[in-house]
């Protein structure tokens, strides 16, 4: 089993991949606002995302499926929460539509199986 990915990795990935870079913040602690933005876009907190990713990794390894990356999970959560069409979502995520579709539905199928 692989080591868990820390929650801050998901927060930083969301900041770089989905443009969550805000220099000025309305909160005294800038992270409070980043966590709020994170949950607005991905529905889960970075901690919950980290736990879910660990369970997904175990499920994928058990079933002999391809290894997943943290960005695959973020893309699927964004898709489920925001419901963007493929083309804009692919542009935001920095990937092509076919790859995005493959991994989004791969994740959704694992969710449907009731991982963990």
Asked whether the predicted pLDDT for residue 27 surpasses 60, the reply is no
Residue 1, pLDDT > 60, answer: no
Q: How much of the chain exceeds pLDDT 70, in percent?
A: 82
Are 57 and 68 in contact, with CB atoms under 8 Å apart? yes
Total-model pTM: 0.79
Dist CA 100 CA 87 (whole Å): 10
Q: What angle do CA 65, 70, 30 make, to 5 degrees?
A: 165
Domain spans, the chain = 7-113
Tokens encoding 87 = 């083309």
Tell me the CA end-to-end span of the chain in Å, nearest whole number. Answer: 14
Residue-by-residue DSSP string for 30-88:
HHHHHHHHHHHHHSS-HHHHHHHHHHHHHHHHHTTPPP--HHHHHHHHHHHHH---HHH
């Amino acid at each position: 089993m692989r080591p868990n990915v820390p929650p801050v990795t998901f927060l930083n990935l969301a900041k770089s991949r989905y443009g969550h870079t805000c220099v000025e913040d309305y909160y005294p602690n800038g992270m409070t606002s980043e966590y709020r933005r994170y949950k607005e876009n991905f529905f889960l907190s970075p901690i919950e995302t980290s736990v879910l990713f660990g369970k997904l990794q175990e499920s994928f390894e058990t079933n002999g499926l391809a290894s997943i990356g943290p960005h695959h999970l973020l893309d699927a959560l964004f898709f489920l929460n925001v419901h963007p069409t493929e083309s804009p979502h692919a542009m935001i995520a920095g990937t092509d539509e076919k790859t995005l579709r493959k991994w989004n539905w791969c994740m959704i199928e694992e969710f449907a199986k009731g991982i963990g």
